[in-house]
């Protein structure tokens, strides 16, 4: 806990830039500190495109229906409700029921998107996802937003640092992390006709931009967002942006070129991308997840099973503990999951 103590001792004003304030009224006009003049709303709160993008898709596809569990404002499915009220269902604070109702609708021809905090969708609703969505091979897309520890001081009850590990253990379930707003749009577009059930993890809901345009997302195919031959960062979701920042800084400071792979699909896992990353000889995994059974575990499995056991592997993640009370930015710093921490780990790896 020494890093946390230093943080507390050395700072009079805590960094609240990533604090969850996502339940304000109003459908699309929420502002935060980074868009106080109103000019950067789209950029400042990008992942709130969830409801908007689904509404766009539903304009041309009458199979799409959306459900939430009393979080329509937090996840912006209210934007869908405003445009397609007949296909929007607020199920109240009853997540297990929501997921199974979504499965029942899917069995009647709908493609359903059921959204709530990742802690409640993937953890509370785990058995419903397995038994009612994945096992019957139904087009249910369970959205776990505010994944990882992005809820900060709301605490362990509202964190999901286990979701990717739990979800990727379920047979016939596609597991995807959205990286930023444009990537989320790409994920949603690709999800409509994807066979079987999906778990889609979203980050803070205002993740900084990685993709300038909507990427052509293909599930199971990683996207190399930065080239480099000296090492590779294998990362996903909220950690892609700080990984890119760290790699760019390192290049400026040392000339070292580090590739960055956005492993947006945890399952099916792109072992080919891991093999390519292994070509650099050094891999750093960065993920907002418990050390056990997330991206790092999947990467290690792919490396050893692919015959790349001699690659130097480092992992940045959350150790097997419940995280302390802190705003999100402080937690990322505490666990070295910000650009500074990733940069330091890269230097260690390159020196090894």
For the record, the structure tokens of 120 come out as: 């409640």
CA angle in degrees (0–180, nearest 5) for 164-166-170? 105
127 counts as binding other proteins under rule CB under 8 A? yes
Work out how close the CB of 57 gets to other proteins at its nearest, in angstroms, rounded to a whole number. Answer: 16
**Looking at 50, 58, 64, 65, which residue binds other proteins (CB under 8 A)?**
65
- CA Rg, the chain, in Å? 19
Residue 196 engages other proteins in binding (rule: CB under 8 A):
no
Q: Closer to other proteins by CB, 94 or 325: give it.
A: 94
Among 22-30, 126-134, 216-224, 240-248, the segment contacting other proteins (CB under 8 A): 126-134
Is position 124 an interface residue for other proteins (rule: CB under 8 A)? no
Least distance to other proteins from the beta carbon of 194, Å?
A: 17
Query: What does the CA dihedral 30, 34, 36, 39 come to, rounded to 10 degrees?
Result: -90
Among 94, 325, 344, 352, binds other proteins (CB under 8 A): 94
- Per CB under 8 A, does 97 bind other proteins? yes
> What gap in Å lies between CA 208 and CA 219, rounded to an integer?
22
74 binds other proteins (CB under 8 A): no
Q: Which residue, 3 or 93, has its beta carbon nearer to other proteins?
A: 93
CB of 12 vs other proteins, minimal distance in Å: 46
Question: Measured from the CB atom, is 127 or 227 closer to other proteins?
Answer: 127
Instruction: Report the nearest approach of other proteins to the CB of residue 111 (Å).
Output: 11
CB of 100 to other proteins, least distance (A): 3
> Does the footprint of other proteins cover residue 86 (CB under 8 A)?
yes
SS (H, E, C) the chain: CHHHHHHHHCCCCCCCCCCCCCCCCCCCCCCCHHHCCCCCHHHHCHHHHHHHHHHHHHHCCCCEEEEECCCCCCCCCHHHHHHCHHHEEECCCCHHHHHHHHHHHHCCCCEEEEEEEHHHHHHHCHHHHHHHHHCCCCCEEEEEECCECCCHHHCHHHCECCHHHHHCCCCCEEEEECCCHHHHHHHHHHHCCCCCEEEEECCCCCCCCCCCCCCCCCCCCCEEEECCCCEEEEECHHHHHHHHHHHHHHHHHHCCCEEEEECCEEECCCHHHHHHHHCCCEEEEEEEEECCCCHHHHHHHHHHHCCCCCCEEEEEEECCCCCCCCCHHHHHHHCCCCHHHHHHHHHHHHHC
Closest approach of other proteins to the CB of residue 62, in Å: 9
Question: Which residues within the stretch 210-249 sit at the binding site for other proteins (CB under 8 A)?
Answer: none
Nearer residue to other proteins within complex by CB, 138 or 178? 138
Binding span for other proteins by CB under 8 A among 5-13, 74-82, 100-108, 144-152? 100-108
Q: Pick one of 24, 59, 92, 305: the residue that binds other proteins (CB under 8 A).
A: 92
Among positions 103, 177, 246, 333, the unique one binding other proteins when judged by CB under 8 A:
103
Is 127 or 253 the residue whose CB approaches other proteins more closely? 127
Contact flag: residue 107 with other proteins (CB under 8 A) = yes
Interacting residue ranges for other proteins, rule: CB under 8 A? 65, 86-87, 89, 91-92, 94, 96-97, 100-110, 112, 127-128, 131-132, 135-137
């Amino acid at each position: 806990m020494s890093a946390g103590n230093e943080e507390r001792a050395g700072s009079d004003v805590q960094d609240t830039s990533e604090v969850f304030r996502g339940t304000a009224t109003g459908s699309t006009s929420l502002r935060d500190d980074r868009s106080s003049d109103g000019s950067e709303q789209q950029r400042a709160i990008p992942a709130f495109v969830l409801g908007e993008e689904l509404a766009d898709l539903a304009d041309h596809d009458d199979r799409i229906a959306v459900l939430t569990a009393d979080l329509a404002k937090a996840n912006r499915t209210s934007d869908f409700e405003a445009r397609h009220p007949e296909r929007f269902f607020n199920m109240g604070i009853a997540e297990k029921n929501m997921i199974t109702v979504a499965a029942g609708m899917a069995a009647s021809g709908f493609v359903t998107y059921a959204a709530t905090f990742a802690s409640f969708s993937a953890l509370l609703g785990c058995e419903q996802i397995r038994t009612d969505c994945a096992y019957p091979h139904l087009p249910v897309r369970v959205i776990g937003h505010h994944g990882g520890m992005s809820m900060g001081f709301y605490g362990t009850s509202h964190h999901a640092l286990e979701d990717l590990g739990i979800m990727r253990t379920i047979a016939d379930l596609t597991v995807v992390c959205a990286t930023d707003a444009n990537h989320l749009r790409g994920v949603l577009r690709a999800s409509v006709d994807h066979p079987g059930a999906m778990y889609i993890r979203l980050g803070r809901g205002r993740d900084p931009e990685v993709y300038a345009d909507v990427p052509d997302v293909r599930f199971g195919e990683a996207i190399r967002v930065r080239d480099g031959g000296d090492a590779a960062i294998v990362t996903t979701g909220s950690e892609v942006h700080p990984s890119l920042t760290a790699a760019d800084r390192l290049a400026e400071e040392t000339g070292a070129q580090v590739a960055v792979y956005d492993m947006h699909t945890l399952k099916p896992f792109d072992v080919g991308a891991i093999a390519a990353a292994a070509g650099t000889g050094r891999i750093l995994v960065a993920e907002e997840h418990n050390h056990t059974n997330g991206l790092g575990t999947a990467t290690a499995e792919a490396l050893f099973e692919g015959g790349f056991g001699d690659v130097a592997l480092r992992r940045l993640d959350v150790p097997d503990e419940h995280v302390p009370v802190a705003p999100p930015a402080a937690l990322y710093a505490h666990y070295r999951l910000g650009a500074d921490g990733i940069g330091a780990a890269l230097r260690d790896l390159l020196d090894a």
